[in-house]
Structure 1
Amino acid sequence: MTHSIVVLAGETLWLLAGKAIYWPSRKMLLVADIHFGKATAFRSLGVPVPHGTTNENLQALEQLIATFACEEIVFLGDFLHARAARAPATLAAMQAWRARHPALRLTLVRGNHDLHAGDPPASLGIAMVDEPHRVGPFALCHHPDLETDAYVLAGHVHPVFHLRAARETLRLPCFLLGPRRAMLPSFGAFTGGHAIKPLPDELVYVTADAAIFRVPGQGPDTVECLVPSIKNQ
């Protein structure tokens, strides 16, 4: 299964195996914590880390755009990892990708890394907003614990779940859905993860390769949102 369909705050969303959310009625992709240039930033500090993560991130975006009818991508914070991420090769790859999709709207909800790295170059044509960014019934945020009367879609935590079977354990990226918020997994290819412990009223969907599935026996049958459905604006 390449996606799981959920209804949050009255809206149908697709949780994608590609670690993003697709909002079909808006033709919008939601992506959290892509951290462009993180490997570059580490190498600038003398840490030997893999090359090619920028192209891997861009190829992952390319695949999603080719699969789903998409008019806008909203990045839920941490677009650039640090100021050192602005290496010429990194920016050139991003600019080439942008040139292939000139009509695609891009919006960045500033996260904590964006505050240090600075806004992306204006040539990338990204609209910059602060959290909470209200779209329909949702508050599009970076930080999941932001106080708001809307249902929060956020990143920041890089959630992963330890899936256990007998003596085997898998550590998988996951979506965490609760009554007031949903957290997306980190989209970036070199970002790590934080193991989460779901509450009784939270659902967990893990991703593995091209598949996504709900963790059995975890949480209620459905998430009952504690925020009202708001008419799309």
Structure 2
Amino acid sequence: MNDYPSFDAAGATLTMLPERALLWRERAMLVLADVHFGKAAAFRAGGIPVPHGTTRDNLELIDVLVQRHAARHVVFLGDFLHARAGRAAATLQALAQWRSRNAGLSLTLVRGNHDRHAGDPPAELAMHLVDEPWRVGPLAFCHHPQTVAGAFAIVGHLHPVYRLAAAGDTLRLPCFVVDGSWAMLPAFGAFTGGYRVQAEPGQRIFLAADDCVLPLPG
């Protein structure tokens, strides 16, 4: 297994994966932020032509990560469904079929801002639905960036990316941002865009590349 970088979160060791996910190996827990299932369908419903297959691609990647890391619990840090317009029959059917193949997997959704508008996932997905902050051991799982008294916060929402520039070329990569009391995940969804970030004092940035996670020097 690749030796991906980890960080200490109030005593919990969390590993950053290049697939833009976080692994809490001790709890066999996989943490994903901002999947935005149905976003492409919502755009198509609004008359904007965008590619098909993003839901399938995201679900297949979750399958790979669950199997590779022997995860028993997947936590979604908000924005599971993108919008009510994205609750297309094909999207919901793909989710239901995926769930039937993973009936033994525990799923938790920490509701985010898009979840309030899109509505809770269908009951047949058998997800544990919670509001932020959701505390497990020393961690507090949240959608919105925040600090939580007495806990290390794991957050999403901003879809952080970092801009690299060299010799006139530029590249934007999704990234993890780790602070002293919280860590922010990049968006897991394949069709989500990103918000450019810079490291503030005391923060570390880790770039999620194709097959590795690279600490930003400095």
| 1:186-233 per-position Cα deviation (integer Å, ceiling 9, x unaligned) | 00010000000210210000011122110112xxxxxxxxxxxxxxxx
1:215 match: 216
Equivalence for 1:29: 30
Report how many residues are paired. Answer: 217
Supply the distance in 2 between the matched residues of 1:38 and 1:17 (Cα, whole angstroms).
Answer: 22
TM-score between both structures, scaled by the size of structure 1: 0.90
Moved over 6 A (4+): none
Are residues 178 and 210 of structure 1, via their aligned partners in 2, closer, same or farther at CA, if it must alter by over 3 Å?
same
TM-score calculated relative to the size of structure 2: 0.96
Alignment partner, residue 45 of structure 1 = 46
Q: For residues 1-233 of structure 1, what are the structure 2 equivalents within 5 Å?
A: 3-145=4-146, 147-217=148-218
Answer whether contact 1:139 1:148 (CA < 8 A) is retained. no
Offset of residue 51 of structure 1: 0.6
Work out the CA distance in 2 between the residues paired with 1:71 and 1:147. 26
Contact (CA 8 Å) 2:176, 2:205: kept in 1 or not?
yes
> How many angstroms does 1:180 deviate by?
1.5
Q: Which amino acid aligns with 2:119?
A: G
Superposition CA RMSD, Å: 1.2
TM-aligned CA deviation for residue 61 of structure 1: 0.4
CA contact (8 A) 1:2 1:212 kept: no
- For residues 93-116 of structure 1, give each alpha carbon's deviation from its aligned partner in whole angstroms, at most 9, with x where no partner exists: 111111111010000000000000
Q: What is the identity percentage for the equivalent residue pairs of Structure 1 and Structure 2?
A: 53
Instruction: Say if 2:76 and 2:108, in contact at 8 Å, map to a contact too.
Output: yes
- Aligned residue number for residue 227 of structure 1: none
Shift of 1:2: 6.5
Deviations 1:37-90 (A, max 9, x none): 000001100011111100011011011011101110000000000011111110
Q: Residues 154-208 of structure 1, C-alpha deviation per residue, up to 9 Å, x if partnerless? A: 1000000012233322100000000111000000010000000210210000011
Corresponding residue SS for 2:48? coil
1:36, 1:148 → 2: CA distance? 31
